[in-house]
Amino acid sequence: MEFQFGMNWSYYSHYVGDVFGAPLAIEGLMAFFLEATFVGLFFFGWDKLSKVQHLVVAWLVAMGSNFSALWILIANGWMQNPVGAAFNPETMRMEMTSFYDVLFNEVAQAKFVHTVSAGYVTASVFVLGISALYLLQQRHGDLARRSIAVASAFGLASALSVVVLGDESGYSASHTQKMKLAAIEAMWETHDAPASFTLVGFPDQEARETHYAVEIPWVMGLIATRSLDREITGIDELVAKSQEMIRSGIIAWDALMTIRAERDDTPQEVRDRFEAHSADLGHALLLKRYVDDPRDATDEQIAMAADDTIPGVAPLFWAFRVMVGLGFAFIAMMAYFFVRTSFCRMRFPRWSLVAAVIMIPTPWIAVELGWFVAEFGRQPWTVDGVLPTALSASGLSVTDLLITLAGFITFYSILFVIEMGLMVKYIRKGPFLDVAETEAWAARHEHRLRTHDGQGPFAANPAE
């Protein structure tokens, strides 16, 4: 990430680095080193640590990964809802004004618990699927059934948490990212409360309507506002408000240019005017796509910049619905296996085991769709309302970008192939040691084997 921020997003790093860099630095110090150190002890300490020590190391790895998620999502949450910071006209940068507000940003907190729960679901579906595979292959039956019992119980709780916490994210978006919420729902016009939820439909961004929409009354109002009397602002009204904010931002830009030119001699009236309109300065920067100086923008260019605040509606609309559909599918699957393990003596029909294996990659798809909704839905902003994406990138050529992108793709593709190869290898191998490994283990514990006289778990014959 640091490489990409420095190389491909240099102006972003300059403009908001004072705010964004803090949680990233804390993540490296608090989480990454903790996680990296103890994951090494976890893998290479099998014969050097006691069981209790190894368990503690496992906990520390888990703590480190969760701390990583926390600080990364605090940084990302600030990009979604930039609180606790203000623009300094002297340095031309965003500067932190309240670390407390950045840390306890409502978007960041909702994203943290939602993302971590999604990770738990991903792990649970993986354990469930591999255990189902063993049962289909008639291998390691006892272990597989116990694993299904644990995975289904923990996975059901996690899947329910994802839905509940996702609802919290939706409620947060209703007052922090109204355009994203309206685009997800393809809500072109502001409707009377409570708003309906569009189950399926075909959004047409040019015509500003959704064809063949199937709506469920009241549901969207309850999800987004938790009330029956608060309306959800539609896309068209939000675009009109964006035009007003762009015009306000032009006033801020004009005052800023005066401050930059006159420095200490700037009249207080100009500084007051800047402070009054500084919150909309980012909207004036949207005009940079069409004109060098926002003060020279025409009404048509202002209207075009306001239209740019609408993200791609159709991709958002469908990505959100596929993600939610998969989320409810995880709940149904976990609930089914939980009931079978609890009340049906762990007997599973073959079709359910096949379905569990097929479901293994779907949580990853759901997670990626969730990130797509979060990041694509924020466009055209890198930092919502503050810095447009078009201004954040470095001044690199297409060739430069292709070279770095090709390098990243090649490197991570190699890691992906290695990771998949290792996972398939150990899935096929199963949880138990083969004869050669057992002989090596027996040699290391020869004294314990002699103590037990060839009986029990330390049998003298390694093949046993």
Q: What is the pLDDT of residue 231?
A: 85
Cβ count within 10 A of residue 185: 26
Residue stretches of the chain with pLDDT short of 50: 453-464
**pLDDT tens digit sequence for 414-424:** 999 999 999 99
Looking up tokens 């379905």 gives 355
- Measure the CA angle with vertex 307, ends 303 and 312; round to 5°: 170
Residue 460 CA: distances (Å) to CA of 275, 431, 440, 441: 81, 21, 12, 11
Contacts for 96 with CB less than 8 Å, ≥ 6 apart: 18, 19, 22, 84, 85, 102
Q: What is the pLDDT of residue 194?
A: 84
Looking up tokens 């926390």 gives 70
Determine the Cα–Cα distance for residues 424 and 105; give it in Å rounded to an integer: 41
Determine the Cα–Cα distance for residues 225 and 414; give it in Å rounded to an integer: 45
**pLDDT tens digit sequence for 260-282:** 998 888 899 999 999 999 999 99
Instruction: Record the pTM.
Output: 0.87
Task: Give the pair of three-digit tokens for residue 250.
Answer: 């032009």
